[in-house]
Amino acid sequence: MTKITKYSQRIFGMLSIIAGLGIWQVAELKLPTLVAGPIQVGYALIAGLQNGTLIPDVFISLERVLEGFILALLCAVILGFIIGWYQPIRWILNPWLQFLRMIPPIALIPLVVVYLGVGQPAKVFVIFFAAFLVMLVTIYQGVRQVDVTLVRAARVLGCNDWILFFRVILPASIPYIFTAMRLGIAAAWTTLVAAELIAASHGLGFMIEQASNYFEMPVVYLGITIIGALGIAMDRGILALEGKFTLWQEKIL
């Protein structure tokens, strides 16, 4: 990407943000009882920092998301390569995977409470479930998309299964792994509020729920904004890592 293109991208991005904030503020003027604009959200942010409740909630939610996401990523990478590479295993597991994909994580909350209680493991599991299935499907589809010509050429050159995996399958699947990570982190954050419905006493989801009960709309919007901002920051981080690991891949401007 040229410097001019990067500069134009930043300019358009800033203009989009400014326009969005302006529309948001106008919406508050039109619907003052239902919408809290950027200024009120800013005051809520300052109040949360001053009373010392906001930072702990942010870190607790961040810890839950990271635990669920990292565990889901490890399981999805391992199982994704196994399913993608070994066809009989894929035939056996695919119907169950498709079935589980159709179940919203929030529907599992009653069972999670029965089996895991209402502590941290229960909340992490709900996030894990949401992120794992999204990443698993993406990764094993990536393994299946590896160019057959490359595999055959490696076989002809005498590569065994281990060399074939590390020299051909894994490098060709890296872009799919990073795509899976981006989808997984989005699923983790979007499931956070549902996970923190399980008898939580801290966290951004708990903060949003409590504020909605008392109709504190600035705090509700603040929690939503923080979740979105943290999600974007982590997504940009994954994109930056992808750029480092896929320098060989041609990209459309």
- pLDDT tens for residues 165-209? 778 888 888 889 999 999 999 999 988 888 887 767 788 988 998
Contact 184, 37 (CB under 8 A): no
Q: Report d(CA 213, CA 132) in Å as an integer.
A: 32
**Predicted confidence (pLDDT) per residue in 19-73, tens digit:** 988 998 898 888 888 888 899 999 999 999 999 889 999 999 999 999 999 999 9
pLDDT at 70: 96
Measured in residues, the chain has a length of 253
Find the mean pLDDT for residues 137-161.
Answer: 81
On the question of pLDDT at 158 being above 80, the answer is no
**pTM of the full predicted structure?**
0.87
37-40 CB contacts, 8 Å cutoff, 24+ apart: 40/217, 40/218, 40/221
Q: Report d(CA 12, CA 39) in Å as an integer.
A: 23
Contact 163, 154 (CB under 8 A): yes
Contact 32, 148 (CB under 8 A): no
Q: What does the DSSP 8-state code read for residue 247?
A: T
Average per-residue pLDDT for the chain = 86
What is the percent of the chain where pLDDT is above 70? 94
Position with higher pLDDT, 96 vs 1: 96
On the question of pLDDT at 253 being above 60, the answer is no
Q: Which residue matches tokens 């904030």?
A: 21
49 phi and psi angles, rounded to 5 deg: -70, -40
Contact 221, 48 (CB under 8 A): no
Closest CA to 204 of 194, 215, 193: 193
